[in-house]
């Protein structure tokens, strides 16, 4: 008897493994909620792809008609938006929602309009939260994401390729970025490019505190002033600031380069390695 | 020949009616509750060349029960069965246990045959020099097919090694002569550590197939025992007895019990759950030695450490393949005795039997054992809980990963694809067994 027969007997044919997903490919989906029900607790991009129809317009319909209720459904919606963009030759224009362009590999998404409120949620907190979409372009490895408006927190987190353009962004933008590029037309929040190991970030306006914290490689350029603790404990890469850096820039830095128009108090305190330069010295 | 199973049922009833064994029903098998000491001893009597250890304080009816069963299964009078038994004490000698050189061979004509020994067919003293062998008088214990070793932990370690060899090789040697023991039922009894006891060798413990605690009679049992007015040897005469043919028919009946895939899979997974260790050589916990034990800090910082659903860090030792054989044998034997035939019922039998097969072979993690509800003492319950977790995990949570592995082994999907899919399963078997096997296939 083959091992599969043995296992089939042991489980009485109740477990069929992941083949179930493949077999269901092309089956009629009643809508986004139906799709979400068929997926397990922590769905992956490949599992979503295995269930959705091959037709790009059908996927776009799913994306536009969806009202994700919780974080899991938002992630499923994010995978769907990335898949839709990959299958279309022209840009996909959709309203901004959390996780838009999640794990996108190619194509273009334009996020236009106000972020809709999460289905089933209510209250003042939700209104504030839904004002900006978070986790946009997370883990993307290719393609373009254009945000016509302000992005929320965790923009381009863990991205490895592709590019993101937005007007402004919240905290933790481009965190753990490994590749690709990001352009912020206005200001960025705190913790810009934390733990980066590659990629390029340009912020035209100001950036908050701790930009380039634990950065290992890559480049960050900020047009105006930045907050305190710029390049905190950074090991490599380059940060260029057009304006002034706040206090304790380059604190405990071990490598890399920081260039700024001026520095606040205690710049380079407890520095082990790397260089801290003034623009006027260059 | 009568149905031996029916006779065994009669024997169980008779033991209770005659107040010869009145233990509580402490072994739950599915819906049914039976006495563990009695039914595990009965299961051992249905098997051959397996050793059952009855562990408990004095007066817990260990030795008497085994001798009563010996009388019923071999058809011998109770007194004779008692005489066959050997009892441990520090001065016990090999001569008293297995046999001694027949002094008559040098002074008188050949002695009559003394058993199935090779020596018995040897030439007499006249041509002794030519044959280069001597005649050994084997003890009744050595020749018996029902061997009881009473108070095994009172034998010094040298004598314990004798039993190890005996159970392993199924032969006994003395003065260069060998006696083939044939198919034998082994029983041993053991008291908790007293001053005159010796620690049991780990190798010997591994060869003891099953161990069952014998508890003191509770209040109701004591009341029942108060009704017993005759001596045990007198009452034993009333017990139903199996004839030799019926006794011999039991092992083939056990072997005919089929174990379904579900049971086999649960047994293998149970063994792997106890044996796999990410930090041991070849991921095999039986390779660990000295200070390298989970209880001595081996698991500090390990991904699975402190995960209550994972068994590996909760016991120091891995399980040998003997455990697999024992689990299969006792599951079959108990299923036969209780008349349980479906796959689900046999899983319940496995759940009931496995702790008794495993608990004497492993050392629980002290920190976990000392917590409630174990309080440092309830080792059997501790192992029961681990067994329960492992079997439940195999039946309820491992289906998908097992199917992926099976499909890859059968060539339905590529090993590379299967490894990628299995990487999502946080299970020691998937990570350490399946992934490695598939990587070898790539």
What single DSSP character describes residue A168?
B
Check whether residue B77 and residue B109 sit in a common domain.
no
The per-type count for chain A, helices as H runs and strands as E runs, is 7, 12
Q: Quick check: is B244 in a domain?
A: yes
Residues B367 and B266 placed together within one structural domain of the fold: yes
* pLDDT at B111 > cutoff 60: no
Q: Are residues B28 and B163 in the same domain?
A: yes
Contact predicate A277/A257, CB 8 Å: yes
- In the prediction, which pLDDT does A128 show? 46
How far A257 CA sits from the closest chain B CA (Å)?
Answer: 36
Q: What is the pLDDT of residue A52?
A: 84
Task: Identify the residue among B267, B343, B407 best suited for mutation to test binding to A, counting A beta carbons within 10 A and taking the highest.
Answer: B407
Q: Where are the beta strands (DSSP E) in A95-171?
A: 108-112, 141-148, 161-166
Which of A3, A10, A16 faces B409 most closely, judged by CB atoms? A3
Tell me the C-alpha to C-alpha distance, in Å, between residue B372 and each of A71, B228, B308, B367, B382: 38, 39, 14, 10, 10
Contacts of A19 in chain B (CB under 8 A): 407
Say yes or no: B75 and B18 in one domain. yes
Residues B410, A3: C-beta atoms closer than 8 Å = yes
B145-165 residue pLDDT tens: 999 999 999 988 888 888 888
In this predicted structure, what is the pLDDT of residue A22? 47
- Shared domain for B165 and B189, answered yes or no, is yes
Establish if B330 belongs to a structural domain.
yes
Residues B193 and B291 placed together within one structural domain of the fold: no
Cβ atoms within 10 Å, residue A120: 11
Predicted confidence (pLDDT) per residue in B281-311, tens digit? 999 999 988 778 898 889 988 989 988 889 9
**What's the pLDDT score for residue B122?**
46
Position B112 confidence tier, pLDDT thresholds 50, 70, 90: low
* CATH number, residue B150: 3.40.50.300
Residue A26's pLDDT band (cuts 50, 70, 90): low
Residue B423 lies in a domain: no
B307 and B360 in a common domain? yes
Best interface-test mutation with A: which of B267, B269, B399 has the largest number of A CBs within 10 A? B399
DSSP state at residue B217 = P
Tell me whether the omega of the peptide bond preceding residue B373 falls within 30 degrees of 0, making it cis: yes
Do B274 and B344 lie in a common domain?
yes
Q: Is the pLDDT of residue B121 over 50?
A: no
Token digits for B373?
């509800």
A14 has pLDDT over 80: no
Same domain, B80 and B187: yes
Interface contact flag, A10 B421, Cβ < 8 Å: no
The closest of B269, B303, B284 to B430, measured between CA atoms, is B269
Measured between alpha carbons, how far is B278 from B304 in angstroms, rounded to an integer?
9
Residues B271, B343, single domain; the answer is yes
Find the range with the poorest average confidence among A20-34, A85-99, B315-329, B398-412. Answer: A20-34
The span from the CA of B62 to the CA of B40, in Å, is 12
CA distance A256 to A235: 6
The range of the structural domain enclosing residue B122 comes to: 99-138
Assigned domain for B367 exists: yes
Answer whether residue A268 shows pLDDT above 60.
yes
pLDDT score, position A121: 52
Confidence at B227, pLDDT banded by 50, 70, 90? confident
Q: Are B177 and B117 in contact (CB under 8 A)?
A: yes
> What ipTM was predicted for this assembly?
0.80
Q: How far apart are CA A229 and CA A245, in angstroms?
A: 8
Q: How confident is the model at residue A129 (pLDDT cuts 50, 70, 90)?
A: very low
Structure tokens at A213: 């914290």
Task: Tell whether B223 and B268 lie within a shared domain.
Answer: no
Nearest CA in chain B to A6: B261
The nearest CA of chain B is from the CA of A145 a distance in Å of 29
Query: Considering B397, B412, B435, which residue would you say is the last residue of a domain?
Result: B397
- Residue B437 located in a structural domain: no
What dihedral do alpha carbons A5, A7, A12, A18 form, nearest 10°? Answer: -100
Burial B322-332 (b: 16+ CB within 10 A, else e): bbbebbbbbbb
Residue B114: the pLDDT is 52
Cα separation values, A11 from A99, A277, B185, B353, B425, Å: 37, 67, 36, 22, 18
Measured between beta carbons, the chain B residues lying within 8 angstroms of A14 are 399
**0.80 surpassed by pTM:** no
Domain total of chain B: 3
Inter-chain residue contact B260 with A9, CB threshold 8 Å: yes
Residue the block writes with tokens 């501790």: B382
Give the DSSP H/E element, type plus range, for residue A93: strand A92-94
Residue B298 counted as domain residue? yes
The answer to whether position B39 is within a domain reads yes
Take residue B174 and report the two structure tokens written for it.
């003395």
Digit-coded pLDDT (tens) for A31-78: 888 888 888 778 888 888 888 888 888 888 889 888 898 899 999 999
Looking at the fold, whether B35 and B85 belong to one and the same domain comes out as yes
The length of chain A in residues reads: 282
Give domain status of residue B430, yes or no: no
pLDDT digits (tens, 9 = 90+) for A70-126: 899 999 999 999 999 998 889 999 999 999 999 999 999 999 887 776 655 555 544
The span from the CA of B291 to the CA of B279, in Å, is 13
Residue B123 has pLDDT above 90, yes or no: no
């Amino acid at each position: 008897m083959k091992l599969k027969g043995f296992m089939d007997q042991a489980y009485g044919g109740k477990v069929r493994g992941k083949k179930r997903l493949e077999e269901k490919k092309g089956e009629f989906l009643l809508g986004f909620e139906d799709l979400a029900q068929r997926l397990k607790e922590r769905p992956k991009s490949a599992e979503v792809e295995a269930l959705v129809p091959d037709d790009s317009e059908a996927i776009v319909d799913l994306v536009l008609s969806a009202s994700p209720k919780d974080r899991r459904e938002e992630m499923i919606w994010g995978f769907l938006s990335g898949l839709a963009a990959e299958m279309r030759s022209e840009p996909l224009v959709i309203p901004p929602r959390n996780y838009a362009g999640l794990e996108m590999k190619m194509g273009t998404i334009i996020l236009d309009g106000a972020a809709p409120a999460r289905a089933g949620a209510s209250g003042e907190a939700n209104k504030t939260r839904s004002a900006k979409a978070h986790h946009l372009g997370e883990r993307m490895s290719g393609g373009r994401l254009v945000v016509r408006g302000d992005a929320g927190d965790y923009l381009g987190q863990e991205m490895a390729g592709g590019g993101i353009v937005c007007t402004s962004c919240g905290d933790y933008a481009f965190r753990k970025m490994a590749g690709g590029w990001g352009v912020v037309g206005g200001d960025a929040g705190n913790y810009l490019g934390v733990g980066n190991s590659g990629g390029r970030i340009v912020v035209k306006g100001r950036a908050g505190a701790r930009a380039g914290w634990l950065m290992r490689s890559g480049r960050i350029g900020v047009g105006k002033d930045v907050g305190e603790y710029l390049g905190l404990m950074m090991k490599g890469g380059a940060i260029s600031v057009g304006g002034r850096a706040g206090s304790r820039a380059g604190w405990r830095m071990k490598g890399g380069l920081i260039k700024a128009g001026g520095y606040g108090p205690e710049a380079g305190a407890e520095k082990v390695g790397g260089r801290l330069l003034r623009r006027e010295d260059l | 020949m009568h149905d031996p199973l029916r006779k065994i049922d009669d024997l169980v009833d008779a033991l209770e009616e005659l107040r010869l064994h009145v233990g509580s029903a402490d072994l739950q098998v599915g819906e049914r509750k039976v006495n563990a000491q009695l039914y595990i001893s009965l299961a051992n009597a249905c098997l051959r060349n397996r050793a059952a250890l009855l562990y408990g304080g004095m007066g817990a009816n260990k030795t008497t029960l085994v001798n009563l069963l010996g009388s019923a299964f071999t058809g011998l009078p109770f007194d004779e069965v008692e005489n066959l038994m050997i009892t441990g004490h520090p001065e016990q000698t090999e001569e008293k246990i297995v046999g001694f050189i027949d002094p008559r061979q040098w002074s008188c004509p050949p002695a009559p045959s003394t058993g199935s020994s090779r020596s018995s067919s040897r030439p007499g003293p006249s041509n002794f020099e030519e044959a280069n062998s001597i005649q050994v008088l084997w003890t009744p214990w050595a020749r018996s097919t029902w061997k009881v070793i009473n108070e095994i932990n009172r034998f010094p370690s040298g004598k314990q090694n004798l039993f190890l060899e005996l159970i392993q090789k199924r032969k006994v040697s003395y003065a260069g002569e060998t006696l083939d023991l044939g198919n034998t039922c082994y029983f041993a009894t053991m008291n908790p550590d007293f001053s005159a006891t010796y620690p049991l060798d780990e190798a010997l413990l591994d060869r003891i197939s099953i161990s069952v605690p014998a508890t003191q009679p509770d209040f109701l049992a004591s009341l029942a025992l108060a009704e017993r007015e005759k001596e045990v040897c007198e009452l034993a005469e009333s017990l139903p007895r199996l004839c030799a043919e019926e006794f011999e028919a039991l092992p083939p009946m056990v072997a005919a019990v089929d174990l379904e895939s579900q049971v086999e899979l649960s047994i293998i997974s149970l063994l792997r759950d106890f044996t796999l260790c990410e930090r041991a050589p070849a991921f095999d916990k039986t390779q660990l030695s000295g200070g390298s034990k989970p209880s001595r800090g081996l698991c500090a910082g390990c991904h699975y450490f402190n995960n209550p659903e994972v068994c590996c860090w909760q016991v120091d030792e891995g399980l040998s393949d003997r455990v697999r054989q024992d689990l299969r044998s006792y599951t079959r034997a108990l299923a036969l005795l209780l008349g349980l035939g479906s796959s689900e019922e046999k899983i319940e039998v496995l759940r009931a039997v496995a702790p008794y097969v495993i608990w004497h072979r492993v050392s629980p993690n002290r920190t976990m054992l000392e917590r409630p509800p174990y309080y440092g003492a309830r080792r059997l319950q501790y192992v029961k809980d681990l067994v329960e977790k492992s079997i439940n995990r195999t039946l309820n949570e491992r289906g998908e990963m097992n199917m992926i592995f099976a499909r890859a082994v059968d060539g339905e999907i590529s090993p590379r694809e299967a490894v990628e899919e299995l990487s999502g399963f946080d299970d020691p078997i998937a990570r350490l067994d399946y992934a490695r096997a598939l990587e070898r296939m790539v």
